[in-house]
Amino acid sequence: MESMPKWSSSSSSCKARDETLHIVMFPWLAFGHMLPFLELSKLIAQNGHRVSLISTPRNIHRLPKLPPNLSPLINLVKLQLPKVDQLPQNAESTLDLPHHKVKYLMKAYDQLQQPMSQILSDLSPHWVIYDFAPYWFGPLASKLGISRVFFSVCVAPALCFLGPVPVLKRTSGEDDRTTPEDFTAKPKWIPFESKIGFKLFEIKSFFNDTSTNYANVPITFRFGAGIEACDVLAVRSSYEFEPEWLKLMEEVHMKPVIPIGQLPSSAYDDSFDETWYTMKESKWLDKQSNKSVVYVAFGGDTKPSQTQLTEIAFGLELSELSFFWVLRNRRGVDDTEVTELPDGFEERTKERGVVYTNWAPQLKILSHDSVGGFLSHSGLSSVVEALQFGKSLILLPFMADTGLIARHLEEKKMACLVPRDERDGSFTRNSVADSLRLVMVEEEGRIYRDKAKEMSGLFGNRAIQDKYVNNFVDYLKKHRPELAQEE
């Protein structure tokens, strides 16, 4: 363990010191989780409060550099993962592993209970904010008398769909869903009309994950234990976006629910920005017409199969649209299933497309005027980054939770989903091409372009975002243990 905080005990006044919070953040080891936790940390620090964000050394090194004005208030605590059989050396996030080996990362993560107990005892924070994965973290903090926030980086409808704690932990017979087919429709505790639900191929994958892929502790149990142990639920959402779902979350879980806004990403490391602006790929974007380019990326945790990759490639070719594709064809050194583009694809499309195989600054690409649409896996961070710049969404979800996000956005006319076979999830190059052209250029798809522009006023509005975080911080201040006792 490294980088324990050395907070100054001095302050301008006793009153200021007494009102300052110290909050510990503990995200799951996926960048789709760590980055929202970091963004929330920065917003809390802007309010003058101290944050200790705990992760592994390699992950902390890969996080965006902190702004100089906030770095004194945010301590990045490095915690070494224990060695676990079949977990490759230096594999510290889901980015480093093929999907079938994520269970070993979770196994190592679950072995952090004893060192985390020591860290919490040493730091004595007012609050901890934790993710879905450490089902043991909430009870551990509770035993130490620390107040607890369960932070969902997913949309409110997904948590509502999964159900209350007894359903999540399978401790009651309240859930009558017993087959994959049962999960393709909304459950009985959602009282209003909604198309929210899994496709059959998504829920089959989810069933497999909960039974085998997460160190023998199902995902749903992890959610249930985390929510059960918390004092308050924080969700990456807003009343402007999904008011009915936020209200339902409080009814389902019978706990305070506080939306903290969409957490639009702030700028990446300036040193990398300077490098990016001199690269040929950046200069290629500068030469393209306004809103003519489709940006293609499927996140750090998603790697399409060879069959899927082939259909996506041919779909891009058939669409005749310009594209910028950040292609990840391997997940870590232990991934033996390296995917390849169709023969001759890059040569045939070199006049109107870029295939980029290194890490790219997604925020910079999406903010570029030449980019008009985003073909994405529907990860919430990617969705927020696209909408904050008014980019239209074409979605191809590959994992269960992203399917729920995609369906929610589709229901709001905020995204177009590529048509797929509902049983096996297959799709064709023609369906990819047709969806891209619909959203990017055809008159029938104007609704998606208009909606993206409209939602940029919400997802990219820093004043609205600050309002939600300020409200959240006020709640934490009002309900921190020693203040509650004084009242």
Residue with tokens 């980015």: 95
Is-contact 454 447, C-beta < 8 A?
no
Q: Give the whole-angstrom CA distance, residue 100 versus residue 433.
A: 30
HSE of 188, CA atoms in CB hemisphere, 13 A: 5
Cα 454-455-459 angle, rounded to 5 deg:
145
For the question of residue 131 being annotated catalytic, the response is yes
d(CA 196, CA 396): 16
Would you say 376 and 382 are in contact if contact means Cβ atoms under 8 Å apart? yes
- Angle CA(374)–CA(380)–CA(383) in degrees, nearest 5? 25
Nearest-angstrom CA–CA distance, 177 and 32: 29
The alpha helices in 190-254, defined as continuous H runs, are 200-208, 219-229, 243-253
Question: Tokens 């997460």 appear where?
Answer: 214
Residue 319 in contact with residue 433, Cβ under 8 Å? yes
Task: Tell me the C-alpha distance between 34 and 278, whole Å.
Answer: 29
Cβ–Cβ contacts within 10 Å for residue 359, how many?
12
The tokens describing 5, both together, are 């905080």
Active site residue 99: no
Residue tagged active-site, from 22, 33, 49, 368: 33
Contact 420, 201 (CB under 8 A): yes
Residue 296: beta bridge partners? 325, 375
Q: Which residues contact 380 (CB under 8 A, 6 or more apart)?
A: 32, 36, 153, 154, 155, 236, 405
List the catalytic residue out of 131, 301, 335, 401. Answer: 131
Reduced to 3 states (helix: H, G, I; strand: E, B; else coil), residue 387 is helix
Query: Cα-flanking dihedrals φ and ψ of residue 323, to 5°?
Result: -145, 155
| Token digits of residue 85 | 């059989």
CA angle 28, 29, 34 (to 5 degrees): 75
Catalytic center residues:
33, 131
